[in-house]
C-alpha cells in the first residue's frame, strides 16, 4: 500500500470527498495559522494599547463636561485589573491587525473545493472583506462616544459614575468587533452565491428576515435608550445586504447568459 501523496490530498479536496476527520484536521490547521497570526500581531498591539485605552477613556471623562458637574471615572476594583485590561486590549488589537490572515483562513475552510480558476474569487473576497471589517470596527468605535453619552445622561447631576473598567471594555469591544464582523457577513452571502450554494432569488426572498435580524442585532450591541444609535448602525448594514443582493443577481444573470450561449453553441 502506498502512502497518500500531496496530489491525493489535493484531489480529495477538489472533488469534495473529504471525510469528517479530514474536515476536523483542516479546521485545526486553519485555526492554528490564524492563532499564530494573532500572536504575532499581539506584539504590535502591546505598544498600541495606551493609545486605545486613552480613546476608550475619553467618552467617560467627557461625561463631566457633557452633563455639567457630573463626575465620571474608570475604576479598577482589583490590583491586577489594569494589567488584565491591557492584555485584553492587546488581544483585541491583534485580532484586528491579523484580520487579513484569519479572514483568508475562514475563506479557505468554508470553500475547500475550489478549482484553480475559481480561486481568483479569493482576491475579490479578501479585497472586500478586509476593508469592510476594518470599516465596521471604525464605525462601531465612532458610535461608542454617542452611546456612552446617552447612557450616562440618566445619572443624576449630584451622583458620581464609577465605571468598572473591565465591564466598560467588554461593552465597547462587543460593539466594535460585532459591528466589524457584521459588515463582513454580506460578503459571505456573495461567496455562497458564487459557489452555487445560494441563489440571488433566495437571498432577495429572505430580505424581511434579514432586516429583522439586523434590527435585533443592532439593538443588542447598542443598548442605548434612544433608537438613533440602533438605526445609525442598522442603515449601513441594510445597505450592505442590498448590495450583496445586487452582486448576487448580477452573478446569476451572467451565469445564465453563459449557459445560454453554451447551449446555442451546442445546438
Predicted local confidence at residue 119, as pLDDT: 61
Contact 175, 147 (CB under 8 A): yes
Name the pLDDT band for 43 (thresholds 50, 70, 90).
very high
Average pLDDT over residues 54-73: 72
d(CA 251, CA 235): 24
pLDDT in tens, 86-109: 898 999 899 999 988 988 888 777
Residue 5 located in a structural domain: no
Contact 114, 16 (CB under 8 A): no
Higher pLDDT, 153 or 239: 239
Predicted local confidence at residue 37, as pLDDT: 92
Residue 35 located in a structural domain: yes
pLDDT in tens, 26-41: 888 888 999 999 999 9
d(CA 254, CA 248): 10
- Please name the residue that has the C-alpha cell 444573470: 253
Q: Give whole-number Cα distances, 80 to 53, 76, 123, 236, in Å.
A: 16, 8, 43, 39
Q: Give whole-number Cα distances, 145 to 90, 110, 134, 246, in Å.
A: 21, 36, 18, 33
Name the pLDDT band for 42 (thresholds 50, 70, 90).
very high
Residue 253 located in a structural domain: yes
Q: Which domain holds residue 63?
A: 16-266
Tally of domains within the chain: 1
Predicted local confidence at residue 8, as pLDDT: 39
Radius of gyration for the chain, computed over Cα atoms and rounded to the nearest angstrom: 23
pLDDT in tens, 159-216: 777 778 888 888 888 788 888 888 888 888 888 887 777 888 888 888 889 889 888 8
Amino acid at each position: 500500500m502506498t502512502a497518500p501523496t500531496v496530489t491525493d490530498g489535493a484531489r480529495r479536496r477538489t472533488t469534495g470527498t473529504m471525510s469528517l476527520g479530514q474536515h476536523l484536521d483542516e479546521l485545526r490547521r486553519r485555526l492554528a495559522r490564524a492563532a499564530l497570526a494573532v500572536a504575532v500581531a499581539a506584539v504590535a498591539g502591546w505598544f498600541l494599547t495606551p493609545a486605545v485605552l486613552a480613546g476608550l477613556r475619553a467618552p467617560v471623562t467627557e461625561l463631566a463636561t457633557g452633563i455639567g458637574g457630573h463626575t465620571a471615572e474608570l475604576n479598577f476594583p482589583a490590583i491586577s485589573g489594569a494589567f488584565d485590561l491591557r492584555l485584553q486590549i492587546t488581544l483585541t488589537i491583534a485580532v484586528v491587525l491579523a484580520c487579513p490572515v484569519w479572514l483568508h483562513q475562514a475563506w479557505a475552510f468554508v470553500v475547500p473545493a475550489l478549482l484553480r480558476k475559481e480561486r481568483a474569487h479569493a482576491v475579490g473576497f479578501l479585497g472586500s472583506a478586509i476593508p469592510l471589517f476594518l470599516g465596521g470596527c471604525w464605525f462601531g468605535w465612532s458610535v461608542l462616544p454617542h452611546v456612552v453619552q446617552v447612557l450616562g445622561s440618566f445619572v443624576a447631576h449630584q451622583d458620581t459614575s464609577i465605571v468598572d473598567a473591565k465591564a466598560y471594555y467588554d461593552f465597547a469591544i462587543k460593539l466594535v468587533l460585532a459591528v466589524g464582523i457584521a459588515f463582513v457577513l454580506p460578503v459571505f452571502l456573495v461567496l455562497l452565491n458564487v459557489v452555487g450554494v445560494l441563489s440571488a432569488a433566495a437571498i432577495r426572498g429572505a430580505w424581511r428576515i434579514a432586516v429583522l435580524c439586523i434590527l435585533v442585532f443592532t439593538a443588542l450591541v447598542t443598548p442605548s435608550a434612544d433608537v438613533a444609535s440602533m438605526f445609525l448602525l442598522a442603515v449601513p448594514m441594510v445597505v450592505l445586504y442590498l448590495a450583496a443582493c445586487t452582486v448576487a443577481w448580477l452573478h446569476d444573470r451572467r451565469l445564465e447568459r453563459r449557459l445560454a450561449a453554451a447551449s446555442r453553441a451546442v445546438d
